[in-house]
Each structure stands twice: as structure tokens, then as C-alpha cells.
């Protein structure tokens, strides 16, 4: 029996477009580099540079503002052009540091130097992770130094390195594991120091045999570490799916993974921890895939933060001749965000630019019918919800039923129900909106109660 969670869907992987292309560095030429201050979950960082300040590669541009926040690091050298509102990948205007890149990439002192690790205390490791501005590179962008500091580190049983990469099209973590397995393991070993009773499990979907082999080689002989090949299925790389498989626990959204004894780190994050702690290299570059049917030569990059999507597309030979891109996604087609323009800076947790030649949503909108009550959504929901009934409750504005009887707030917005729905109804989208509305109402009620 192959390891997997309950439910899930099998969208076309399309990883063959880019999976065999080795990682390469991409350094954009002189020009603007834009660093949003709110790339993570939590409070936006506070800018510590001002207009005309000279900056170097690896220099801190903004300081974490409070505990749940993260620093922002410059990926280029040059002069600060402005600290102003710019449009970001999230679609909103938000405060950014704009640096005029001189193209020389002059580093700060000591960047990339091997560090002595034996004397480091746990607090030293957490401080370095925080100073390096590391956030979860898998998606949501939760500050890693917060994640690595649960209330009771001794009760953590599993440190899960997430190399599942279940999102279609994306292949950068596959390539990272193939070529930088030792670097990932270095970061994981450092993280493992924080959790004395934890076992590190590197979880990889079985459609990446080369990555599995490379990681197995890298963990060979290491204590408390193993590689676990998983069934290929979306959303296998979701935090909760992984914990279901590895720790055998289902837990409600009111609980954190640490509450059930698990810490999940993306392999990219693990690599960033290793670079930051062992090599004094803060997080200013990360792996990213540029792919899709509309891209000339899809590729995997180690890209610098602040580079624009358009520059990366250029580096791939631009749009494929004779093809009109219909949709550009930051990320993959399941969880990714559609962007209106490519003149947007990549952020720490931008893992892909997917340029689609066909927009399946256009066709789906033509095929949309009423709900058949076929129940496919409930069969595949990885959390065991009944999306069709949730949608009915929304239609009737029965929020009590939505929240209490149907447990609608347990939705993790993985998109599986929208994907599978034969009536092509935008279920996930409704749930995201409803969740936001219910939360807003709760906050308002709370504020009202206080006043």
C-alpha cells in the first residue's frame, strides 16, 4: 500500500516541461529591484534604509517588526531609489524598498563564509534564522524562526521536510533536491538540533525518483533522518496531508502542526536555513520555475528577490513563437495567483511563473451547470468536508450551519473541489470568501463586545 492521505485529486502534472532542466543562477542586469516589506504572514517589516542609501548584496533593507515578522534582505548592490507603494504579486499596492541595481552584485563582508557551528546554542540558530529573513518558501510565507520555536520543543516527534511538490508544473524543488541534497540536509540537521526527540522525515512524491535517490544518498548514515516516498496526488504537499501520512493524525484548523508534535519545513526553507546559519548567507535568492505551454524554453532558476517576472520570462527566451499567453500565474495552477502584468517583483515565496496558453477556466465557465449533488467534492476533499452542502448553506446564508454543522472553516482552500466539480462551480472561491466574511464578522463582534 502506497502512503497517502484520504481524498485528493490527480491534475495533469505537466512537470515534463521543466523537470529535467538543471537549476541556474539568474542575475538581472542594472535596473530597478523591488522588495515588498510584507512578503510574509504577520506584521510588515520596517524599512531601515532611506532614499539614496548605498546597499550591498546580503544587506538588511528592513527589520522584522515584532516577533511574527521577517527581515527583508537586498539581493543586489546599488542605491536605494525610493521607499514607496508599489503593486505586488498579491495584487495590492504595498510599501516596497526600490533599489537601483548597479549590476555589480557587490557583497557585504563575510557573505558566504563557512561558519563554526559546534558552539552555536539553539537561540543562536533561531536568531540567525530570524536575521536572515527566512520565511516558509512553500507557499504561505510564515516566518520560520516562529515556526521553529514552539512552546514545547521536546514534544516535537517529527520534523517533516516537505519535498512533495504536488503542485502541477512546478519542478524547482525537484531540481534543488537533485543538485543541493547536501545543503538541504545541512539545514535539516541544524533544525533538528532544536528538537531533541524528533525524527526528520524527508517526504517526496514518487514521481521524482531522481530526487528521492539524491536525498537518500545525502541522509545515508545520518541519525534520526529518513526519506519517505509518497503517492503522487494533490494536495500531498499540504501540511495537513503530510502530517496525516507521517504522524497519522487529523487535526482541526484551530490547532497548529506543533500541537500534534510536527514541524513541517519546505525543502527550500531547509536549504535557506543551512545557507543562513552555516554560510552566513541570508535569504535573498531562492529556487523558482518558469514554465507553461506559452514559455519558449521552460527552466528552473536560482533567482534573486526583487527580479521582475518579465525578466525571468526573458531569460527563458520569452513567449513561445506563435502562442498567445492567456493567463500568467505566480505559482502553479492549483494554488497560484493570476497576475495581470509581468512587471511585478518576485518575492521570497514565489516558487513559479506559469504562463498558460489555454485558460481552462474560460472553458469551465461555459460548461457551468447547477450542482448535481454528485458528491465528488466530498469524496476528494482531503479534510473530509462536504463542499456541495457548504455551498448550499452559503446560498441560504445559513452561517450557523456552515460553521457548526458543516465545519466550513476547516477548508484549507486547496482547490480540489473546484478542480473536480463536473458542474464547474467555483467552490473553493466561495469558501475563501465566506471564511473571510465570517472571520471579519467575528472580529467585528469581538470589537463590539469590547467597546
Catalog residues that contact other proteins under the rule CB under 8 A. Answer: 6, 9, 11-12, 168, 244, 248, 250-252, 310, 313, 318-319, 324-329, 333-342, 356, 359-364, 367, 369-376, 378-379, 383-386, 388-389, 405-407, 410, 415, 418-424, 426, 428-429, 432
Where does 298-374 show beta strands of DSSP type E? 299-304, 327-330, 337-339, 352-356
Rounded-to-integer distance, Cα 313 and Cα 402, Å? 43
Q: In this complex, which beta carbon is closest to other proteins, that of residue 370 or of residue 447?
A: 370
Q: In this complex, which beta carbon is closest to other proteins, that of residue 27 or of residue 259?
A: 259
* C-alpha distances out from residue 169 to 32, 386, 420, 449, Å: 29, 28, 18, 47
Q: In this complex, which beta carbon is closest to other proteins, that of residue 17 or of residue 188?
A: 17
Q: State the nearest-atom distance from the C-beta of 387 to other proteins, in Å.
A: 9
* C-alpha distances out from residue 158 to 5, 204, 249, Å: 17, 15, 12
Q: In this complex, which beta carbon is closest to other proteins, that of residue 74 or of residue 349?
A: 349
DSSP secondary structure letters along 99-157: EEE-SS-PBPTTTT-----TT--HHHHHHHHHHTT-B-TTSS--BHHHHT--S-GGG--
Q: State the nearest-atom distance from the C-beta of 167 to other proteins, in Å.
A: 10
Q: State the nearest-atom distance from the C-beta of 301 to other proteins, in Å.
A: 18
Rounded-to-integer distance, Cα 37 and Cα 373, Å? 44
Q: State the nearest-atom distance from the C-beta of 135 to other proteins, in Å.
A: 20
The region, left, alpha or beta by phi > 0 then psi within -120 to 50, assigned to residue 158 is beta
Q: In this complex, which beta carbon is closest to other proteins, that of residue 118 or of residue 324?
A: 324
* Of 264, 302, 224, 269, nearest in space to 129 by CA: 269
Rounded-to-integer distance, Cα 174 and Cα 157, Å? 26
Q: State the nearest-atom distance from the C-beta of 363 to other proteins, in Å.
A: 7
Q: State the nearest-atom distance from the C-beta of 406 to other proteins, in Å.
A: 6
The CA angle 441-446-450, to the nearest 5 degrees, is 145
Angle, helices 122-131/267-279, rounded to nearest 10 degrees: 110
Q: Which residues pair with 66 in a beta bridge?
A: none
Q: State the nearest-atom distance from the C-beta of 146 to other proteins, in Å.
A: 23
Q: State the nearest-atom distance from the C-beta of 299 to other proteins, in Å.
A: 17
Q: State the nearest-atom distance from the C-beta of 1 to other proteins, in Å.
A: 16
Q: In this complex, which beta carbon is closest to other proteins, that of residue 209 or of residue 375?
A: 375
Give the Cβ contact number of residue 443 at 10 Å. Answer: 10
Give the H or E element holding residue 365: helix 360-367
* Of 212, 133, 225, nearest in space to 165 by CA: 212
Q: Which residues pair with 299 in a beta bridge?
A: 290
Rounded-to-integer distance, Cα 204 and Cα 230, Å? 6
Amino acid at each position: 500500500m502506497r502512503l497517502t492521505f484520504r481524498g485528493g485529486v490527480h491534475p495533469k502534472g505537466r512537470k515534463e516541461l521543466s523537470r529535467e532542466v538543471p537549476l541556474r543562477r539568474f542575475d538581472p542586469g542594472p535596473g530597478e529591484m523591488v522588495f515588498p516589506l510584507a512578503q510574509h504572514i504577520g506584521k510588515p517589516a520596517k524599512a531601515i534604509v532611506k532614499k539614496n542609501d548605498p546597499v550591498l548584496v546580503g544587506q538588511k533593507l528592513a527589520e522584522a517588526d515584532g516577533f511574527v515578522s521577517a527581515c527583508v534582505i537586498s539581493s543586489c548592490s546599488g542605491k536605494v531609489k525610493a521607499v514607496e507603494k508599489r503593486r505586488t504579486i498579491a495584487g495590492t499596492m504595498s510599501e516596497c524598498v526600490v533599489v537601483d541595481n548597479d549590476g555589480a552584485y557587490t557583497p557585504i563582508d563575510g557573505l558566504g563564509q563557512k561558519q563554526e557551528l559546534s558552539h552555536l546554542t539553539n537561540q543562536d540558530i533561531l536568531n540567525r534564522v530570524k536575521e536572515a529573513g527566512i520565511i516558509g518558501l512553500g507557499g504561505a510565507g510564515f516566518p520560520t524562526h516562529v515556526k521553529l520555536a514552539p512552546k514545547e520543543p521536546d514534544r516535537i516527534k517529527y520534523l517533516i521536510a516537505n519535498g512533495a511538490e504536488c503542485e502541477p508544473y512546478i519542478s524547482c524543488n525537484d531540481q534543488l533536491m537533485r543538485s543541493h541534497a547536501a545543503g538541504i540536509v545541512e539545514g535539516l540537521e541544524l533544525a533538528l538540533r532544536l528538537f531533541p526527540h524528533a525524527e526528520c522525515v524527508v517526504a517526496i512524491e514518487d514521481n521524482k525518483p531522481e530526487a528521492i535517490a539524491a536525498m537518500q544518498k545525502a541522509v545515508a548514515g545520518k541519525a534520526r533522518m529518513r526519506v519517505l516516498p509518497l503517492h503522487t496526488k494533490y494536495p500531498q504537499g499540504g501540511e495537513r496531508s503530510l502530517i496525516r501520512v507521517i504522524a497519522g493524525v487529523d487535526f482541526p484548523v484551530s490547532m497548529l502542526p506543533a500541537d500534534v508534535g510536527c514541524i513541517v519545513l519546505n525543502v527550500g526553507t531547509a536549504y535557506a536555513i543551512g545557507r543562513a546559519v552555516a554560510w552566513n548567507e541570508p535569504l535573498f535568492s531562492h529556487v523558482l520555475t518558469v514554465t507553461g505551454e506559452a514559455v519558449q524554453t521552460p527552466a528552473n532558476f536560482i533567482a534573486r528577490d526583487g527580479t521582475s517576472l518579465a525578466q525571468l520570462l526573458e531569460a527563458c527566451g520569452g513567449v513561445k513563437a506563435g502562442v498567445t499567453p492567456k493567463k500568467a500565474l505566480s505559482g502553479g495552477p492549483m494554488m497560484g495567483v493570476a497576475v495581470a502584468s509581468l512587471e511585478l517583483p518576485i518575492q521570497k515565496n514565489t516558487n513559479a511563473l506559469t504562463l498558460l496558453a489555454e485558460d481552462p477556466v474560460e472553458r469551465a465557465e461555459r460548461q457551468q451547470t447547477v450542482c448535481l449533488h454528485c458528491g465528488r467534492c466530498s469524496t476528494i476533499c482531503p479534510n473530509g468536508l462536504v463542499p456541495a452542502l457548504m455551498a448550499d448553506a452559503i446560498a441560504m446564508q445559513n452561517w450557523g450551519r456552515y460553521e457548526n454543522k458543516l465545519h466550513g472553516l476547516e477548508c484549507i482552500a486547496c482547490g480540489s473541489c473546484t478542480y473536480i466539480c463536473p458542474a464547474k462551480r467555483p467552490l473553493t472561491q466561495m469558501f475563501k470568501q465566506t471564511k473571510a466574511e465570517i472571520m471579519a464578522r467575528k472580529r467585528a463582534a469581538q470589537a463590539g463586545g469590547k467597546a
